[in-house]
Amino acid sequence: MKQALRDALTDRGYNKLTPVQEAVMDPEYEGADLLVSAQTGSGKTLGFGLAIAPTLLGNDEAFSKAKAPLALVIAPTRELALQVKRELAWLYAKAGAVMASCVGGMDMRDERRTLERGAHIVVATPGRLRDHIMRGSINLSQLRAVVLDEADEMLDLGFREDLEFILGESPESRQTLLFSATVPKSILGLAKKYQNDAIRVVAKSENAQHSDIEYRAMSVVDRDVENAVINTLLYYDAPNAIVFGNTRATVNRLTTRLSNRGFKVVALSGELSQAERTHALQAMRDGRANVCVATDVAARGIDLPNLDLVVHAELPGSHETLLHRSGRTGRAGRKGTSCLIVIKRNMKKAQRILSMAKLNAEWGAAPSADEVAEREEERLMTDEGWQKETAPAEAGLVAKLLEKFTPEQLAAAFVRIHQTNRSAPEELRAVSDEKPRPRDEFGASVWFSIEGGRDAEAEPRRLLPMLCKVGGLTKDDIGAIRVQKEESFVQILESSVDGFLKSVGTAMTVEDGAKIKRLSQAPVLERQERPRRSFDRKPGGGGKPAYKGKGEGRGDKPRGKSSAPVDWNDASEPRARKPKPESKGGPGGHRKGGDGGGKPRRASSDEWSPASKRTGGKPGGKPKGPPPPAGKANSKKNKARAAAKGGNQPPRKRGFNA
């Protein structure tokens, strides 16, 4: 390892390299193409920075004057590209490296001027880098190394064509490194096409994936998702936390809700400009915000300090996305927690995603209001401030407070001030795993009949409230309601019959004077048959039925313009058809023969054919004589043209020259 890099690592407090960093530093891999797979948060950025150092510096300890770039690092998102630039900047600072970035959303003119001044290492996103190459503002002829960071994500985002273009424009003698969390077939195909005998490197930590992250799956009611997010943030009280949503609308809604509840929150989604996204991440880094609500745009490569909690307000679409989201915490040896908010209908989906990711999650309910209050009290009682001695600057104010107030007053005031600065937890509904119980048997009952049925537009939804109101019943006292053609039947619980009869009185009437009568036994219900379609037989039709329409009585409905009904049993002679008028252009006959007007019939082979005579009998030949007269011109322009030439001419096809 170069001394400049060793000194940079020492200054940053690196005493030991991660497994992926040690793997790529193998002396046998120096200058070779590598296909590296390691879990997110394992130090891949520093790993490929160390791996390309021998190729870039050679035998030198420092870079010479910056001209055309020597190394190219390509990342899928703007945030990751800028983060990689920061990491490599301090790593190569003592070696005198000049860094440059080419990312979407930034001023392209500034990037072009930076490239013209010269840079040793360029970090870029695929789309913007391709634009610079096509515009001729970057020179790739001196490239010694190309690194594709998060290669699988770039392919998923549709950058395959851009990557192939960039690699095709790069020198073939370059060193190519592909770093990816997963290695699907698409990555293997890319490596086979653009790498030379690539060495497959698998970090040892890949087998113990996310061992520093505790996974919790919280079952909540559909309406309590946002409340569960609030309670989770209060329960863990992490220095920094990320809440993931699947859509921009979810991010905007959660950001507004958390801001109203007093959280220092920022949003991160694709609809924000690059400046807004950069400011949001900087607010998280310098402590002005401690909660970031984001879409999956922040799931790749973003490294925030003291990020101890990841909350999935909505389940990710795949297990890969779950791993990348959760990988924002538990980085570089720190412990972290990843909480999945799961509603009941997504229970199986959550189990499937966790199984595919080979993760074991602790299932349970979201933190309740009592649990949040208990955890807050525990943090308050164990705070380090209780153990510190009174500073000289504080002694005077402390003495005045003790002299003026009792210990109980001081403690109560402290609790109230503390709670004022904290958001109160939310009450969550209990999640029941029990299926709804089937309705108990109705029991002994008595049937009553009521005047009025379907003919009177009686319906159960109208009878039920009327019976409850007139008879002093509840819906549990009423069983079946059967509406017939002229009357309706109601089943009433036997224990409620006396109260019902007392309420309706001796008149035994309900609303609108409808009579009600007690039955000695269950009524015999009429069978309701659906109306059938009406069919008749056409005479002489071989018994084939003629459909008259849906329902009864529609068979006599007239069709077409005729107002008279059709009688299929009428044996009279068929009505004579009205003859068509003869064509004004001369007798040509109908399509099927005859002397009426219309299109002329096609000439047979033994008849004279104007077209065949004009073309000499050869199909597709050139006409030799004037065209035969045709019918009346069909436009004013054709009429004028025909009059000028002394007769009717065939209409020309419409077009620019017509």
pLDDT digit string, tens, across residues 630-657: 544 455 666 666 666 555 555 555 544 4
pLDDT tens for 314-326 read 999 888 888 888 8
* pLDDT exceeds 80 at position 548: no
* pLDDT exceeds 90 at position 274: no
Task: Give me the mean pLDDT over the 342-359 stretch.
Answer: 91
Do both 192 and 218 map to the same domain?
A: no
- The share of the chain scoring above pLDDT 90, in percent, equals 27
Within a domain: residue 397? no
Within a domain: residue 658? no
Do both 357 and 467 map to the same domain?
A: no
Within a domain: residue 587? no
Higher pLDDT among residues 604 and 219, named by residue: 219
How many other β-carbons are positioned within 10 Å of the β-carbon of residue 128?
Answer: 20
Tell me how far apart the alpha carbons of residues 436 and 373 are, in angstroms, rounded to a whole number: 33
For the chain, the first-to-last Cα distance in angstroms comes to 82
* pLDDT exceeds 60 at position 14: yes
Task: Give me the mean pLDDT over the 334-361 stretch.
Answer: 91
Do both 226 and 269 map to the same domain?
A: yes
Task: Give me the mean pLDDT over the 169-185 stretch.
Answer: 86
Do both 217 and 353 map to the same domain?
A: yes
* pLDDT exceeds 90 at position 118: yes
Tell me how far apart the alpha carbons of residues 600 and 592 are, in angstroms, rounded to a whole number: 9
Task: Return the C-alpha torsion angle 236, 241, 242, 243, nearest 10.
Answer: 30
Do both 190 and 239 map to the same domain?
A: no
Q: What is the CATH number of the domain that holds 463?
A: 3.30.70.330
Which range of 215-229, 432-446, 601-615 scores highest in mean pLDDT? It is 215-229
Among 19-23, 89-93, 261-265, 609-613, where is mean pLDDT lowest? 609-613
For position 307, what pLDDT does the model report?
86
Q: Which of 165, 185, 207 lies at the terminal end of a domain, its last residue?
A: 207
Tell me how far apart the alpha carbons of residues 179 and 156 are, in angstroms, rounded to a whole number: 15
Higher pLDDT among residues 125 and 598, named by residue: 125
Question: What is the CB-side half-sphere exposure of residue 609 using CA atoms within 13 A?
Answer: 15
Within a domain: residue 340? yes
Distances (CA, A) of 144 to 53, 150, 170, 176: 10, 20, 9, 9
Q: Residue 449's domain spans which residues?
A: 445-518
What's phi and psi for 378, nearest 5 deg? -65, -45
What's phi and psi for 203, nearest 5 deg? -70, 145
pLDDT tens for 433-477 read 655 556 567 788 899 999 888 888 888 888 888 888 888 888 888
CA 409-412-418 angle, to 5 degrees, is 135
pLDDT tens for 550-569 read 444 444 444 444 444 545 44
Tell me how far apart the alpha carbons of residues 599 and 589 are, in angstroms, rounded to a whole number: 7
Assign 182 a pLDDT band (cuts: 50, 70, 90).
confident
User: Residues 113, 141, 91, 157: is their CA dihedral positive or negative?
Assistant: positive
Do both 85 and 218 map to the same domain?
A: no
Q: Do 9 and 67 touch, CB atoms closer than 8 A? A: no
Q: Which residues of 172-186 are buried (b: 16+ CB within 10 A; e: fewer)?
A: eebbbbbbbbbbeee
Tell me how far apart the alpha carbons of residues 126 and 153 are, in angstroms, rounded to a whole number: 12
As a whole number, the mean pLDDT across the chain is 79
Do both 196 and 263 map to the same domain?
A: no
Do both 106 and 142 map to the same domain?
A: yes
Tell me how far apart the alpha carbons of residues 179 and 147 are, in angstroms, rounded to a whole number: 8
Within a domain: residue 624? no
pLDDT tens for 64-76 read 998 999 999 999 8
Task: Give me the mean pLDDT over the 494-521 stretch.
Answer: 84
Q: Please give the distance of CA 618 from its chain centroid, rounded to a whole number.
A: 64
Do both 249 and 185 map to the same domain?
A: no
Element (H, E) at 110: helix 108-117
- The share of the chain scoring above pLDDT 70, in percent, equals 76
Q: What is the DSSP letter of 252?
A: H
Do both 372 and 271 map to the same domain?
A: yes
Angle (deg, nearest 10), helices 126-135 and 108-117:
70
Q: What is the CATH number of the domain that holds 243?
A: 3.40.50.300
Do both 63 and 141 map to the same domain?
A: yes
For position 357, what pLDDT does the model report?
87
For position 120, what pLDDT does the model report?
94
Within a domain: residue 35? yes
Q: Which of 186, 303, 299, 164 is nearest to 243 (CA)?
A: 299
Report if pTM > 0.85. no
Tell me how far apart the alpha carbons of residues 141 and 299 are, in angstroms, rounded to a whole number: 34
* pLDDT exceeds 90 at position 146: yes
* pLDDT exceeds 80 at position 404: yes
Within a domain: residue 126? yes
Q: Which of 334, 356, 376 lies at the terminal end of a domain, its last residue?
A: 376
- Please state the domain count of the chain: 3
In terms of residues, how long is the chain?
Answer: 658
Q: Which of 351, 376, 401 lies at the terminal end of a domain, its last residue?
A: 376
pLDDT tens for 471-498 read 888 888 898 999 998 899 999 998 888 8
For position 652, what pLDDT does the model report?
54
Do both 167 and 58 map to the same domain?
A: yes
SS3 (DSSP) at 271: coil
Q: Do 144 and 175 touch, CB atoms closer than 8 A? A: yes
pLDDT tens for 222-234 read 899 999 999 999 9
SS3 (DSSP) at 177: strand
Within a domain: residue 580? no
Among 20-24, 160-164, 531-535, where is mean pLDDT lowest? 531-535
For position 382, what pLDDT does the model report?
82
